[in-house]
Amino acid sequence: MPHIIGERVYLREYLSSDIEALYRWRTLDEIVWWTGAYVWPESLAQAQIFVEAQMNDTDKANRKFVICRQEDDKYLGHIGYEYLDLRRQNAELGIVIGEMNFLSKGLGEEAIRLFLKVCFEELNLHRVGLRVIRENKRGFRCYQKCGFREEGILREWHFSRGKWHDLVLMGILKEEYQAGLLI
Ligand SMILES: CC(C)(COP(=O)(O)OP(=O)(O)OC[C@H]1O[C@@H](n2cnc3c(N)ncnc32)[C@H](O)[C@@H]1OP(=O)(O)O)[C@@H](O)C(=O)NCCC(=O)NCCS
């Protein structure tokens, strides 16, 4: 994927110079908590393995693209597919902005809109889905702004911080994406 340029952010491929920035947010408990994931990579060496796999394109179904700030090329986080399925024209979206100071500033919305353009206009996907833990109100609101609809709930899917958490399934269809462009 070439650079995808937006107003305040752009998306690009991973580079080996991103290893430390990736590892930094993976060590931030607060950020990892919102993703509903377990910490991985757990070490700088694992971060290197992750970035090298991205650079060598060895994990095509789980590609990630770096979100950079336009004004200074700062690494903000990443966005990409989880489970790209070209036969079914489906993918799941995963996104992280890895610094608390940069959340809730509309940067996630812009990155998602850029990425949906790739999904629907270049890859010709029919549907893009995502999963978000119910407590992640900021993520949920951001996805709603981008046109995702709530589709269902997986009850008590994730155990963290001493209790079970529901997972909300969301999705956007190509026709909904296209209708949004007309508004
Ligand atoms: C989820 C994420 C990508 C969204 O990107 P973002 O740039 O923070 O989101 P945006 O600023 O575009 O939109 C966030 C919206 O949530 C709102 N919001 C923030 N906190 C909220 C809360 N506690 N309750 C309700 N809404 C909230 C913001 O006001 C904003 O809505 P608005 O534009 O209508 O005012 C980003 O927050 C992130 O990476 N978070 C940490 C990791 C994570 O949660 N990853 C996603 C896992 S599914």
Q: pLDDT tens digits, the chain, 183 residues: what are they?
A: 558 999 999 999 999 999 999 999 888 888 888 988 766 667 899 899 999 999 998 777 788 999 999 999 999 999 999 889 999 999 999 999 998 999 999 999 999 999 999 999 999 999 999 999 999 999 999 999 999 999 999 999 999 889 999 999 999 999 999 998 766
Pocket test for ligand 1, best of 8, 38, 79, 104 (most atoms within 8 A of CB): 104
For residue 143, how far is its CA from the centre of ligand 1 (angstroms)? 8
Tell me how many degrees the CA angle 122-128-130 measures, rounded to the nearest 5: 140
Q: Among 50, 20, 40, 28, which residue's Cα sits nearest to residue 103?
A: 28
